[in-house]
Amino acid sequence: MDREEQRECLSDTEFKRLFGVKKETYEAMRLILEKEYAVLHQAEGCPPKLSVDDKLQIALQYLREYRTMEHIGFDWGVKKNTSSGSIKWVEDTLVKDGTFRLPGKRRHDRIYRGGCDGKHDRAA
């Protein structure tokens, strides 16, 4: 069974637990990425190592699990640079589209320094 078949067999709860987003959100992201991918790859060339679905799953894994790009690349059978490029492309494409937002660096830093309540925002 390939990854797509496995993904489609998941219940809504399992899907959300694994990918961190609902199935509807995943599909909306995938459509945006496929549209951009088609524009970028109009000319024929070497077949890509990763599909749009693969790239989206890699980016969601990275954002959800905070795994290293080397570990993700190993699991997907690609080099660290390929996984890194895929994550960056997915993030940039989704942000550029404007439908989705990713947490900014400042919010991300606040979470790690003690929370988002504003009490621990300032550097000591």
- The pLDDT value recorded for residue 18 is 86
pLDDT tens for each residue of 29-74: 999 999 998 888 776 767 778 999 999 999 998 988 888 889 999 9
Global pTM reads 0.75
- The pLDDT value recorded for residue 123 is 46
Angle at 14 between CA 11 and CA 20, to 5 degrees: 125
Domain range summary for the chain, segments of one domain joined by +:
3-112
Better-scored residue on pLDDT, 38 or 116? 38
- The pLDDT value recorded for residue 122 is 44
Long-range contacts of 61-65 (CB under 8 A, 24+ apart): 62/87, 63/20, 63/102, 64/19, 64/20
Alpha helices in the chain (DSSP H): 3-8, 12-19, 23-40, 52-65, 69-76, 80-97, 105-112
- How far is Cα 18 from Cα 53, in angstroms, rounded to an integer? 14
- The pLDDT value recorded for residue 48 is 79
Are 87 and 69 contacting, i.e. CB atoms less than 8 angstroms apart? yes
Lowest-confidence pick of 12-26, 53-67, 95-109? 95-109
The mean pLDDT of 20-28, rounded to a whole number, is: 91
